[in-house]
């Protein structure tokens, strides 16, 4: 069964450094997402991406964050200058969702654990 893949599984970075989290969504999916889960808290929506642009973003997704689909398969989340509070599990998701099937399920990767020191 096709799946969303994320790399790396664990990233340790010094505070203030830039980090890029990578995702390969399911190949025929059109909508891409990033969520994060701080330890002990709810999974929170960060951003959605469709047709090469951001379609929705949360208050968390400030100017330090950016997303990109650099080629036909990868979807990346960049944090420009990491803070301690960015430590969390980051999940990528994708869905097929077009036309009458717009509420197709979102499929999640296994996440990247980001630790900021």
Partner 1 sequence: GENVEQHPSTLSVQEGDSAVIKCTYSDSASNYFPWYKQELGKGPQLIIDIRSNVGEKKDQRIAVTLNKTAKHFSLHITETQPEDSAVYFCAALKAAGNKLTFGGGTRVLVKP
Answer positive or negative: Cα dihedral of 55, 99, 24, 73: negative
Contact between 61 and partner 1 by CB under 8 A: the answer reads no
Phi, psi of 32 (to 5 degrees): -130, 150
* Minimum distance of partner 1 from residue 78's CB (angstroms): 20
Listed ranges 11-19, 42-50, 67-75, 79-87: which one lies at the site for partner 1 (CB under 8 A): 42-50
* Minimum distance of partner 1 from residue 75's CB (angstroms): 15
Q: Which is nearer to partner 1, 45 or 65 (CB)?
A: 45
For residues 106 and 18, give the distance between their C-alpha atoms in angstroms, rounded to a whole number.
28
Helix (H, G, I), strand (E, B) or coil at 82: coil
* Minimum distance of partner 1 from residue 42's CB (angstroms): 5
Q: What angle do CA 68, 33, 1 make, to 5 degrees?
A: 110
Among 8, 12, 15, 56, binds partner 1 (CB under 8 A): 56
* Minimum distance of partner 1 from residue 46's CB (angstroms): 9
One symbol per residue from 91 to 110: x for binding partner 1 (CB under 8 A), - otherwise; what is it?
Answer: x----------xx-xxxxxx
Among 70, 86, 83, 84, CA closest to 36: 86
């Amino acid at each position: 069964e096709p799946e969303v893949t994320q790399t790396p599984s664990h990233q340790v970075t010094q505070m203030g450094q830039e980090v890029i989290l990578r995702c390969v969504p399911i190949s025929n999916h059109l909508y891409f997402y990033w969520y994060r889960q701080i330890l002990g808290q709810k999974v929170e929506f960060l951003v959605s991406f469709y047709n090469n642009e951001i379609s929705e973003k949360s208050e968390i997704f400030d100017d330090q964050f950016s997303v990109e689909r650099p080629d036909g398969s990868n979807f990346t989340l960049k944090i420009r200058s990491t803070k301690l509070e960015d430590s969390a599990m980051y999940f990528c998701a994708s869905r097929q969702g077009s036309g009458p099937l717009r509420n197709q399920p979102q499929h999640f990767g296994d996440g990247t654990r980001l630790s900021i020191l």
